[in-house]
């Protein structure tokens, strides 16, 4: 089941600019046909439900996203309705990219305020206000603080991708694990400025309703690191490598959060030790694969043995 708020925002998205009020007004005037009532109910029911559920939090509901869009000018309600219906589809498409833009603006304005306000709705609120948006426009982040943290993660992943592209060209010679080490360190350094608030972010990410998205982000991160470190494996190693990198990232995060040493040196040393462990495991695997030849011979001779025992050799010789 989706969050009740999310359905509210879906309807908000399509009908920005106070159309909710307009159409309800026309309903009361009795100038609307029955089929229109039907459609309107379907459209605004979630909104009304939401209103009931969150009477105390009226700021979130049915407010336009941008203060500038909020206008109840003199046009008649029917005109507004007709134009809304004809342009509804197009507006929906435009609004998604526009919404991302708005989200990004609010997000980047709120990020410097995290130190004072933490990864919270209030922080987004303050961020939105500081760049001239309505205080309630934080509502487009569907899960408040959680969405904020996820947005941060996504941006860090994007940034890492960009760094990795440059690195790939520079350090073409160094081996895969060294690159994994470098990239992991770069990625962990991105959370350093927000370290005091990071336990809160980790808690938000591990909440049940956001854990699925968190895993997706973690998978994206591990996949990027492995890919840019030069991993081109297409078998079970693909999975083990990504699992190892994801595990390393989580361990690094946990150790950073508790680290009291200067410059978090202990954590970086811990990371280097874990990478060395991985290198040892890899060497062990390499020495195992050298024994494969012997295994092959054993398998082949046992197959011949089975053929002789079952009499297949003589069957084939006779059938020729």
Partner 1 sequence: MSLRLSPALRHLRASKFTCNNCLRKKHTKISDEVHGMLRVDHAGEFGANRIYAGQMAVLGRSKSAALIQHMWDQEKEHKKIFDDLMVKHRVRPTALMPFWHIAGFLLGAGSAVLGEKSAMACTVAVEASIVEHYNDQLRKLANENPEKHAEIMAAIKKCRDEEQEHHDTGMDKGAEQAPLYKAMTAAIKVGCKAAIALSTKV
Helix then strand then coil, % of the chain, to nearest 5: 80, 0, 20
- Site residues (CB under 8 A) for partner 1, limited to 127-166: 131-132, 155, 158-159, 161-162, 165
Whether the Cβ atoms of residue 140 and residue 10 lie closer than 8 Å to each other: no
Residue of 37, 58, 83, 104 that binds partner 1 (CB under 8 A)? 104
303 lies in the binding site for partner 1 (CB under 8 A):
yes
Residue of 236, 262, 294, 309 that binds partner 1 (CB under 8 A)? 236
- Site residues (CB under 8 A) for partner 1, limited to 6-65: none
70 lies in the binding site for partner 1 (CB under 8 A):
no
Residue of 36, 39, 43, 105 that binds partner 1 (CB under 8 A)? 105
Nearer to partner 1 by C-beta: 32 or 111? 111
- Site residues (CB under 8 A) for partner 1, limited to 257-276: none
Burial of 97 (0-12, 13-18, 19+ CB in 10 A): exposed
- Which segment (39-47, 172-180, 268-276, 311-319) binds partner 1 by CB under 8 A? 311-319
Neighbours of 124 (CB within 10 A): 28
112 lies in the binding site for partner 1 (CB under 8 A):
yes
> Contacts with partner 1: how many residues (CB under 8 A)?
34
DSSP codes, 32-80:
S-HHHHHHHHHHHHHHHHHHHHTGGGGGGTT--SSGGG----SS-HHHH
- Which segment (52-60, 230-238, 264-272, 282-290) binds partner 1 by CB under 8 A? 230-238
Q: Which residue pairs from 302-307 have beta carbons closer than 8 angstroms and sit at least 24 positions apart in sequence? A: none
Nearer to partner 1 by C-beta: 70 or 315? 315
319 lies in the binding site for partner 1 (CB under 8 A):
yes
* CA angle at 275 for the pair 274 and 277, rounded to the nearest 5°: 65
216 lies in the binding site for partner 1 (CB under 8 A):
no
Q: Which residues contact 109 (CB under 8 A, 6 or more apart)?
A: 127, 128, 130, 131
194 lies in the binding site for partner 1 (CB under 8 A):
no
Whether the Cβ atoms of residue 149 and residue 199 lie closer than 8 Å to each other: no
Whether the Cβ atoms of residue 185 and residue 271 lie closer than 8 Å to each other: yes
How many Å separate Cα 293 from the centre of its chain?
45
Residue of 53, 69, 108, 308 that binds partner 1 (CB under 8 A)? 108
- Which pair of structure tokens corresponds to residue 70? 């909020």
2 lies in the binding site for partner 1 (CB under 8 A):
no
For the chain, how far is it from start to end, CA to CA, in angstroms? 68
Residues lying near partner 1 in the complex (CB under 8 A):
104-105, 108-109, 111-112, 131-132, 155, 158-159, 161-162, 165, 168, 190, 223, 227, 232, 234-236, 238-239, 299-300, 303, 306-307, 310, 312, 315-316, 319
């Amino acid at each position: 089941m989706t969050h009740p708020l999310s359905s509210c925002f879906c309807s908000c998205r399509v009908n920005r600019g106070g159309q909710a009020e307009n159409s309800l007004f026309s309903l009361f005037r009795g100038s609307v046909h029955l089929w229109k009532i039907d459609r309107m109910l379907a459209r605004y029911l979630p909104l009304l439900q939401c209103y009931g559920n969150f009477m105390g939090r009226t700021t979130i509901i049915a407010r336009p996203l941008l203060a500038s869009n909020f206008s109840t000018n003199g046009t008649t309600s029917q005109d507004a309705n007709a134009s809304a219906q004809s342009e509804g589809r197009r507006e929906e498409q435009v609004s998604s990219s526009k919404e991302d833009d708005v989200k990004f603006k609010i997000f980047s304005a709120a990020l410097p305020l995290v130190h004072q306000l933490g990864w919270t709705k209030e922080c987004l609120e303050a961020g939105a206000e500081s760049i001239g948006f309505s205080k309630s426009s934080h509502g487009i982040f569907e899960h408040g603080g959680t969405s904020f943290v996820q947005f941060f993660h996504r941006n860090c992943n994007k940034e890492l991708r960009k760094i990795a592209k440059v690195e790939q060209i520079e350090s073409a010679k160094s081996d895969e694990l060294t690159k994994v080490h470098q990239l992991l360190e770069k990625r962990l350094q991105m959370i350093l400025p927000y370290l005091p608030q990071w336990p809160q972010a980790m808690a938000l990410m591990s909440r049940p309703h956001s854990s699925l998205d968190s895993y997706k982000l973690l998978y994206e991160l591990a996949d990027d690191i492995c890919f840019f470190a030069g991993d081109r494996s297409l078998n079970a190693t693909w999975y083990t490598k990504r699992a190892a990198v994801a595990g390393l990232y989580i361990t690094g995060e946990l150790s950073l959060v508790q680290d009291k040493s200067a410059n978090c040196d202990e954590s970086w040393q811990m990371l280097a030790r874990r990478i060395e462990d991985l290198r040892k495991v890899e060497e062990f695997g390499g020495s195992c694969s050298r024994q494969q030849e012997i295994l092959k011979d054993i398998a082949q001779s046992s197959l011949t043995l089975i053929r002789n025992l079952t009499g297949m050799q003589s069957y084939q010789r006779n059938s020729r």
